[in-house]
Amino acid sequence: MKFPSPSSAEAVIAVSGLSRHFGTKTALNDVSVFVTRGSVLGLVGENGAGKTTLIKHLLGSLKAQAGSVRLFGLDPVRDPVGVLGRVGYLSERRDLPGWMRVDEFMRYTQAFYPAWDEAYAGQLLKQFQLDPAQKIKSLSQGQQAKIGLLTALAYRPELLILDEPSSGLDPVVRRDILEAIIRIVAEEGRTVLFSSHLLDEVERVADHVIMLQQGRVVLNGRTDEVRGEHISAVLAFAEPPAKTPVLAGAHAVAGYGSEWRVLFGGSHLELETAAVSIGARVVEERTPTLDEILVARAGGKS
């Protein structure tokens, strides 16, 4: 279930033992992430879990206090040109030059990337229905996200980093962004790191998922395996328990009366054994969604 080792030549992102403190607060604690070429990594976690801090380290905006960060084998702080020239980035903060027109921003961005594909940029401009003569500050949030995505995609970066790209956007724009990601993954086999609160999106596009919690990696593996290692089950008790039952291996237990829903981390057999040990039986079980896993783990803080 682990990603390739640091020695893997295929690793586009290789983060090893990364720690970061802001004053007394620990934002990242011994985080290791390895992402191979062509994979789509979903980075999930609650607010303040350290997702954006990790992404800032990948972009070289933050310098590692402990551990190392390598993209394409290069240090993004020591070699920003070598790294950033191969990375496309779309931020949750639409930090764009509002005074520029759309076409001016495209021309400005193009100058930094020799691989800029004008035909592709034109195609995206048409697809996103953006007016090149319009000023960026007069664009809606969704349009600003689209121009950000356009300028992140038009030079066909080897690695695309998306930090909460659909935050605050309507479903239509979210769908457009998601489709663009799916297309570049499907057609070009590029690597994508995708951070989002909207776990149905992550589930749809990511083949790997990493969950951060309080600066630590608590889940790391293939999306289907992560889901497969958890069971959402309903337990029935002969007599309603007086207080919330404690089930070994459960990340969350909720309910009342004689039926309780649990999110269990383990196999079917382990769940049966644990249920019997507290005097309950499993009456229903299914594979949980990523959303349920995140909520359960974030609620349980484990």
Partner 1 sequence: MLWEIWGRHKVKFFWDGAALAASCFFVFWKNHGASQAVGEMLGCATFFFFLGGYGQLLVCLCNFEVDDRTMQFSFPRRLLLKPVSTAWLVLVAMFSGGTVIVTIFVLWAELVWRHVAGFSASDLLWTSAVLLSFFWWMQALAWSLPLPKARMLLLVLMGMLHYFVWRMPQMRANAFSGWQWPILFALLGSAVPAAWIGLKRMRQGSWEGSSRISELWSSVRIASARDRQKKFRSAFAAQFWLEWLRQGWMLPGISAAMALLIVAVFGAVTWVLRKVSGNSWSGGDPETLGLTYPFILALLILPLQISVLLTPVLAKFDRVQLSSELPVYIAIRPMTNGGFVLAKLVMALATSVLTWLVVAAAFVCLILMDQDALLSKAGLVTPLGPLPLMTGCVPVLLLLIVWTWKNLVDGIGAGLNRYAWIGLASVYWRMIFLVGLFPLVETARTNVIFRETLLHWLTTILIACLAAKIAVAIAAFGWSLRRNAITARAIGWIAGGWLVCGLFVAGYAGHVCSAIHQPGLRLWVALGGFLILPLADLAIAPLALAWNRHR
Q: Is 119 in the site for partner 1 (CB under 8 A)?
A: no
Among 21, 25, 107, 183, binds partner 1 (CB under 8 A): 107
Q: Provide the residue type at 197 as one letter.
A: H
Structure tokens at 61: 């905006």
Among 9, 24, 81, 239, binds partner 1 (CB under 8 A): 81
User: Which span (37-45, 53-61, 165-173, 225-233) binds partner 1, by CB under 8 A?
Assistant: 53-61
Over the window 125 to 154, marking each residue x when it contacts partner 1 by CB under 8 A and - when it does not, the resulting string is --------x-x-xx----------------
C-beta of 114 vs 171, nearer to partner 1: 114
Size of the site for partner 1 (CB under 8 A): 36
Write down the least CB distance from residue 16 to partner 1, Å: 18
Q: Under a CB-based contact definition with an 8 Å cutoff, are residues 87 and 59 in contact?
A: yes
Give the Cα separation of 141 and 21 in Å (integer): 32
Q: Is 77 in the site for partner 1 (CB under 8 A)?
A: yes
List phi, psi (to 5°) of 142.
Answer: -65, -40
Give the Cα separation of 159 and 41 in Å (integer): 11
Exposure of 121 in the CB half-sphere (CA atoms within 13 A): 21
Structure tokens at 286: 């299914």
Among 4, 67, 85, 122, binds partner 1 (CB under 8 A): 85
Residue closest to 43 by CA, chosen among 153, 165, 155, 169: 165
Q: Is 98 in the site for partner 1 (CB under 8 A)?
A: yes
Q: Is 83 in the site for partner 1 (CB under 8 A)?
A: yes
Which H or E run includes 208? strand 208-213
C-beta of 96 vs 184, nearer to partner 1: 96
Q: Is 25 in the site for partner 1 (CB under 8 A)?
A: no
User: Which residues lie closer than 8 Å to 25 by C-beta, 6 or more apart?
Assistant: none
Give the Cα separation of 250 and 259 in Å (integer): 15
User: Which span (33-41, 78-86, 119-127, 284-292) binds partner 1, by CB under 8 A?
Assistant: 78-86
Among 113, 278, 285, 295, binds partner 1 (CB under 8 A): 113
Q: Is 204 in the site for partner 1 (CB under 8 A)?
A: no
Write down the least CB distance from residue 10 to partner 1, Å: 23
Give the Cα separation of 213 and 27 in Å (integer): 10
Q: Is 166 in the site for partner 1 (CB under 8 A)?
A: no
Among 103, 158, 207, 229, binds partner 1 (CB under 8 A): 103
Q: What residues line the site for partner 1 (CB under 8 A)?
A: 59-63, 77-78, 80-85, 87, 89, 91, 93, 95-99, 101, 103-104, 107-113, 133, 135, 137-138
